[in-house]
Amino acid sequence: MTEFPKDFLWGGATAANQYEGAYLEDGKGLSTSDVMTNGSHTTPRKITWIKPATGETGYVEMAFGKSINFPKDAIPAVVDGYYYPSHTATDFYHHYQEDIKLMAEMGFKYFRLSINWARIFPNGDDAEPNEQGLEFYDKVFDECRKYGIEPLVTLSHYETPLNLSIKYNSWTNRKVIDFFVKYAKTVMKRYKGKVKYYLTFNEINCMSMMPFVAAGLLTDDDESKAKGAHNQFLASALTVKAAHEIDPEIKVGQMLAFQPFYALTADPKDQLAALKANDWTLFYSDVQTGGRYPDWILKEYEEKGIKLDDQPEDYELLAKYPADFLSFSCYASSTITTHDGQEVSGGNLMGGVTNPYLKTNDWGWAIDPDVLRIALNILWDRYHKPLWIVENGIGVKDQIAEDGHIHDKERISYLQQNLASMRDAISLDGIDLMGYTMWGCIDLVSAGTGEMRKRYGFVYVDRDDKGEGTLKRIPKDSFYWYKKVIASRGADL
Ligand code: BG6
């Protein structure tokens, strides 16, 4: 097979907190992402706080796997003197018509975007939704429809209404399940007939590595994270149930960050370490897509004395309403070893050591031409549910050349390899892959570093790390390349 299936869903992906901007416009409330500053590959982003009683301000650093401890009586807040990239981002809010037109020109069938929860319920626990927020997404979906582009909507992508974090410690509290389900029902009813596919929580498993960023938690002990995950699983099940009642056409997917772990050596200890590391990721899909908690995690909770705030009927709900399909992000692989003395890999989200067989990008992410096929095989064999790659791509420091164009050869080469691997998974392994939405199809703010210079897009946006630039859109060479790929159904990579 040289072509992808006729009904393959080609497109691109974005997230409100990194793309939309207009952070307080038309009634939007503050989100957790709005209190995060920019950083770099070597300098962590900061989460700023204030002590309301005294007015004292400060920050905690956001580094993967590092504890975040807010001082006593401090709450996350926007503080004078810091730069917050989400506030304007690349301003999709005011450029949506131009951007969707560019997507249409590339031939997109699907556009993955997220609804910013705090645009609809500014405090998360409001009695009524914010009509102006609802209207904005109406306009976006109508614009998509004009070009025959379908939206794929993430309900929560790395942002939680800040008030829910402060008042309830976010997902550690079961009340937040009700707030989320109310929000999900509000949008699913409002956009009935306009949106068929929803994803609940972006990269749900990232809560275990960055609980504030991914899920708005102000505490990061193991019990908080376990409770947060349990409550999100329940919210997902209730959203699936509600979706099918509102409109049987709606499908609700899970969204997992899957960066498969490889063992560095054939030492069985390394093999076991890789197996267990993969289990940690797949725990989240075992529950949300598979419908049940794996035995090992229950043992681990017992051993660590972790208690969930659960009820017996929770488990029936999880089994009865699993996700309709499994979507995932996959950028790279991680390599793991039990042997000392190995170089720690620069920037992979999941950590690990340098893989001697793979090159990396400027942020240390391994460029692995086989990772998509490997990831797809693992997930297909385990769940036999339709899969959808909703994020994949490479961060590059693009430059405008003297001729005024952006010749992003590195991105094209990365995508060529990745799409070929995906094609093999369909044609050689028989995997049911619904589609592919390339991450950050129009340049946006990096989630990990808050940088603009880490660009993923087919379209360049004139904006820098200080928040300067005209926001002008310029198609890169990859824009024309992707257009050709979609038009030829992947035959012309
Ligand atoms: C995924 C997130 O982890 O990776 C996106 O869902 C994020 O929000 C993307 O932007 C790429 O990571 P980064 O840190 O390079 O922006």
Residue 461 lies in a domain: yes
Quick one: which atom of ligand 1 is closest to the CA of 393?
11
Q: Enter the ipTM.
A: 0.99
Quote the ligand 1 centre to 299 CA distance (angstroms).
Answer: 32
Does residue 70 fall inside a structural domain?
no
pLDDT at 68: 85
pLDDT bracket for residue 194 (50, 70, 90) = very high
Is 121 contained in some domain?
A: yes
- What are the φ/ψ torsions at residue 117 (nearest 5 degrees)? -50, -40
Q: Is the pLDDT of residue 126 over 90?
A: yes
| Residue 89 pLDDT exceeds 90 | yes
Out of 232-241, 310-319, 348-357, 449-458, least confident range = 348-357
Assess if residue 211 is contained within a domain: yes
329 lines ligand 1 (CB under 6 A): yes
CATH of the domain at 332: 3.20.20.80
CB atoms within 10 A of CB 65: 10
pLDDT of residue 446: 97
E-strand stretches of 264-361 = 325-329, 334-336, 359-360
Is 45 part of a structural domain of the chain? no
Query: Does residue 231 form part of some domain?
Result: yes
Contacts of 492 (CB under 8 A, 6+ apart): 484, 485
pLDDT at residue 347, as a whole number: 58
Which atom of ligand 1 is the closest one to the Cα of 203?
6
* Range(s) of the domain holding residue 365: 9-28+84-487
Q: What is the DSSP string of 158-206?
A: S--BHHHHHHH-GGGSTHHHHHHHHHHHHHHHHTTTT--EEEEETTGGG
**pLDDT value at position 349?**
65
- The answer on pLDDT for 65 being more than 80 is no
Q: pLDDT tens digits for 289-345?
A: 999 999 999 999 999 999 999 999 999 999 999 999 999 999 999 999 999 877 777
Is there a catalytic annotation at residue 391?
yes
Question: Catalytic site residue 203?
Answer: yes
Nearest one of 375, 283, 367, 360 to 329, comparing CA atoms: 375
Q: How much distance in Å is there from the Cα of 387 to the middle of ligand 1?
A: 19
- Chain CA centroid to CA 454, Å: 16
Given 20, 150, 391, 451, the catalytic residue: 391
In a domain, 35, yes or no: no
Q: Is residue 75 part of a domain?
A: no
Number of domains in the chain: 1
